[in-house]
Structure 1
């Protein structure tokens, strides 16, 4: 069970979203008293929330003048979920392997990879960086016969994706990807790696990669910093209903259709 999220931390998240949505850099914020009335909390709670925003570099507090919005320290990355890690690398980012080895598949992993209970898998965790800031944490799992090909590929995986590595170096085609994305909270297991507080809002994604025979060859659980990602889809009146237009494939807006297979196009699915 996750620990309860402190009220000041939730207020910090609400204020952060409000600042990015409604305030221009340099704009003056309401007073602490106004925030207390707005949120129905004590001044101490508001001060704790503002202190966190100050620590994050989003606001500055000037004695006698007030509190001012500095602006986002790093713009959010807007991209397709099907190309998340690749988009980081395209923007001069990189990935660092923080764990690899052979383990007994956890129940969730065994189910997604269609493996029997007690089967071994290769576990490979990475942190994706942009401008030397961690923005995504990926827990990856491969069936043992597939994973042995990518063990000790730290340098290759620094600037390429797992899907590309499997396809281009080991001739393992990726035919489809099944993906879900949901809101969640940062767990102690990866909060430090992402440089966020435990309980911070994050996005959690699952991806199962299928080869040309429909066999799962890679499963990943990815945690995205909510303050560094924005997903977008294009909806159109497509065949009598508002839904994602499969013809819309702009470079940056995302495909956020949870649970639907993403078919390979021009070179394969990407992580």
Structure 2
């Protein structure tokens, strides 16, 4: 018998030196990459276990690895889906709500917490606040078409937006700043980095702790007055950053002018 006869069919899980969860993972990977479009649901754990003659624990392990790789995405209460193609996150000033609508997606926002309290030193300095002065602290979970995409933790200058937390915080903050206070952020400095999700952020986004995130800290001003210091954690399996570069070099100590998509 030839060696090829011992190679298991590509769509079956068999006993052998390769763990069953690894075999199933590669079967699912081929199916996702070759047959299923982005955003398509995959069969349930029960269906996959019956189809391939393995335990649900084996199925869960295989799916979990593909979720970690960003090939699949779990949506709480709905199931597991092939991951959507990463959205281009271009760096300009726009609210998350407007950005998602521009992409043809339906944005929704969940307010996790809202309070007026003394900010940490870095945020107080960014907002130009005196020591011990309060600011509005807002934590929100942002969705698009029901999928959690980002956690925002922001500080807002209480003197320039009094009563902000009494407004409808599920809507665009930028729109409400403009409509209620006549404040329109027109300049921002933003820093971007990558990190693994901590336990709380992972819970909010429906991910495993340690999953990759893109993090943006932005300080926005209106007419030269700082109004917002916000840090946002975006799912790394849904976003990629695009930048236009040129040969102009900023003065030492002066970061280039750019904003971010929120």
Query: Which of 123, 126, 133 does residue 109 from structure 1 map onto?
Result: 123
1:166-185 matches, within 5 Å, as 166-185=177-196
Change (3 A) 1:201 1:118: same
Identify the residue that residue 232 of structure 1 maps to in structure 2: 242
Q: Distance in 2 between matches of 1:150 and 1:94?
A: 19
Identify the residue that residue 136 of structure 1 maps to in structure 2: 150
Structure 1 contact 100–151 (Cα < 8 Å) conserved = yes
Secondary structure, aligned partner of 1:158: coil
Identify the residue that residue 98 of structure 1 maps to in structure 2: 112
Structure 1 contact 77–228 (Cα < 8 Å) conserved = yes
Structure 1 contact 179–260 (Cα < 8 Å) conserved = no
Secondary structure, aligned partner of 1:116: coil
Identify the residue that residue 165 of structure 1 maps to in structure 2: 176
Structure 2 contact 161–177 (Cα < 8 Å) conserved = no
Give yes or no for the alignment of 1:52 onto 2:48. Answer: no
TM-score by length of 2: 0.64
Instruction: Provide Cα deviations, 1:178-211, integer angstroms capped at 9, x if missing partner.
Output: 1111111111232211111111110110111112
Q: Distance in 1 between matches of 2:177 and 2:229?
A: 13
Q: Distance in 1 between matches of 2:123 and 2:146?
A: 30
Query: Which of 86, 109, 124 does residue 76 from structure 1 map onto?
Result: 86
Q: Distance in 2 between matches of 1:133 and 1:87?
A: 15
Instruction: Provide Cα deviations, 1:89-130, integer angstroms capped at 9, x if missing partner.
Output: 442122222111111111221122122332211111111101
Consecutive aligned runs of 4 or more in structure 1 exceeding 3 Å deviation: 23-26, 47-51, 53-59
Identify the residue that residue 126 of structure 1 maps to in structure 2: 140
Q: Distance in 1 between matches of 2:255 and 2:198?
A: 23
Change (3 A) 1:163 1:260: farther
RMSD: 3.7
Query: Which of 214, 233, 236 does residue 203 from structure 1 map onto?
Result: 214
TM-score by length of 1: 0.62
Q: Distance in 2 between matches of 1:55 and 1:173?
A: 39
Q: Distance in 2 between matches of 1:158 and 1:109?
A: 23
Change (3 A) 1:188 1:58: same
Larger Rg: 1 or 2?
2
In structure 1, runs of 5+ residues without a counterpart are: 1-14, 27-46, 60-69, 244-257, 264-268
Change (3 A) 1:49 1:177: farther
